Amino acid sequence: MYGIVLILVLIITGGVVAVIGDRVGTKVGKKRLSIFGLRPRHTSTIVTIVTGIVITTLTFGILAAASENVRTALFGMEQLNRSMQETKNKLARASEELTAAREEQGKADMALAELKGSVQSLAEEAERLSAGNRVLSAKNDALARENAALDDLNQSLAAENDALVAANETLAADNTQLIGDKKALEKHTYDLRRGLEIIREGDIVYRAGEVIAAGVIKGGRPEDEVRADVTSLAQLASRNVSARLGKDLPDGEIWVYSPEVDDAVTRIAKSSGDMVVRVVAAGNLVRGEAIRAALDLHPNSIVYRQGEFILAQSYRLTGMGDEQASESLVMDFLKRVNAAAAAHGILPDPIRGTVGVIDGQQLYDIVQTVEPLYGMILFSAYARDDTDALGPLRLNIKLEQEQEQE
């Protein structure tokens, strides 16, 4: 569009300049003007030439004023040519560089393809390594669990080792104790031998475990009062021993281990009820030796009330008047009563195991009553008095004829 406008300007300018030149030439010709003394015809020619020059000059001037490209073509052609040559050179170099770049791109594409192959190989290798890592992770977990188990085992072994060390220390202490016990046993053996010699030469006054004295001490009191009662019971035991050995004999004194006495006093003082206290021989008491005793404590309570039923047992009697058989039957019933009373809470004698007393006359009367009886006879035992754990249990025995079933 710009070129068309430029051409139209040139055409219009040329036409205008031509018209002006024609009119100037016509006027010069009509007036027969002369320049520089020349003939009018030559002057007209010169005017025409000048007009053409003016037209050309104006044309180039207008073109130069109207277009930078025209100015460049008129005045900067060499520079333009140099620029074009430089541009061509640059284009050539750019083409060469483009070719080289394309070659480099081809090489890069080949390298990229190789790189893609390497990446694929690396991906496969990474997957293989990942699988290996998973396997190693599983092995590590298993090893961690084994390590934890080994730690637990080590701790257990350490604890067992500590226990063994403690056991060794205990065994060492036990060994020391055993050495002491051995010496004590040797001394005890010597004492036993000495005791046997004394037994061969003397007699036993009290057997081990035999009750020397017994009594009921009220609990829940100050220890001083309880201790006074325990001391009184020990004095009673001493008198009993003196009575059996002969009064005013020095070996009638009682010796009880002091801590055992203190413990008994504390237990009785703290007890809410009464306590049965029995002084028993700690060993066989041989005449001439010191009397070693122990304290036997039991809670006391009323076991049987007066007239309370104890036991019943049926026996078949022959009525033959056999005194020995009747006595055996009565003794069997009394043993059953003794066992029932002991199970019920009455303390039996440590030596004989009996819990009650029955005098010879009462036993004789019962045997005499049983001798003539015939058939099934029910023996029943009742408590004669209120009886506590200390006893003794005294009996009333009742005999009844039973109706035999046909």
Q: Is the pLDDT of residue 186 over 70?
A: no
Check residue 217 and give its pLDDT.
Answer: 84
- The whole-angstrom separation of Cα 215 and Cα 252 is 19
- With 60 as the cut, is the pLDDT of residue 196 above it? no
Calculate what percentage of the chain has a pLDDT beyond 90.
0
Give the burial string for 308-323 (b: 16+ CB within 10 Å, else e): eebbeeebebeeeeee
Confidence bin at 346 (pLDDT 50/70/90): confident
Q: Are 282 and 207 in contact (CB under 8 A)?
A: no
How much is the average pLDDT of 8-37? 69
Q: pLDDT value at position 252? A: 46
Confidence of residue 335 (pLDDT cuts 50, 70, 90): confident
Q: What is the pLDDT of residue 201?
A: 44
pLDDT higher than threshold 80 for residue 304: yes
Predicted confidence at residue 28, as pLDDT, reads 64
**Are the CB atoms for 312 and 395 separated by under 8 Å?**
no
DSSP 391: -
Domain boundaries, the chain: 2-75, 204-300, 303-401
CA 195-197-202 angle, to 5 degrees, is: 85
**Inter-residue contact 15 to 62 (CB < 8 Å):** no
Q: What is the DSSP string of 3-50?
A: HHHHHHHHHHHHHHHHHHHHHHHHHHHHHT--STT--HHHHHHHHHHH
> Is the pLDDT confidence value at 193 over 60?
no
What's the rounded Cα separation, in Å, for the pair 275 and 80?
Answer: 142
Question: With 60 as the cut, is the pLDDT of residue 389 above it?
Answer: yes
Tokens describing residue 213? 């004295």
What is the structure's pLDDT at 185? 62
Average pLDDT over residues 303-320: 83
Helices (H), 67-76: 68-75
Q: What angle do CA 324, 330, 333 make, to 5 degrees?
A: 145
Cα dihedral sign, 333-335-340-346: positive
Q: Average pLDDT of 345-371?
A: 77
pLDDT given at position 103: 84
Q: How far apart are CA 273 and CA 217, in angstroms?
A: 9
| Residue range 31-42: mean pLDDT, rounded | 67
Is 316 a residue whose pLDDT tops 60?
A: yes
Dist. CA 396–CA 385, nearest whole Å: 9
Task: Let me know: does 396 contact 382? Beta carbons within 8 Å.
Answer: yes
Q: What are the structure tokens assigned to 217, written together?
A: 């001490």
**What are 107-147's pLDDT values in tens digits?**
878 877 787 877 788 778 878 888 887 888 888 888 888 88
- Summary mean pLDDT of the chain: 76
Q: What is the mean pLDDT of residues 219-247?
A: 81
Residue type, 270: K
Higher per-residue pLDDT: 70 or 362? 362
**Positive/negative CA dihedral, 219, 224, 228, 230:** positive
Q: What is the pLDDT of residue 25?
A: 66
The whole-number average pLDDT for the span 204-209 is 75
pLDDT-wise least confident of 227-231, 247-251, 399-403: 247-251
Task: Tell me the pLDDT tens digit for each residue of 141-160.
Answer: 888 888 888 888 878 888 88
* pLDDT of 247: 59
Spatial strand order in the sheet of 254-256: 211-217, 275-281, 291-299, 254-256
Residue 10 pLDDT: 67
Point out which residues pair with 297 in neighbouring strands.
277
Report, in angstroms and rounded to the nearest whole number, the Rg of the chain calculated over CA atoms.
74
Alpha-carbon span 39 to 48, nearest angstrom = 14
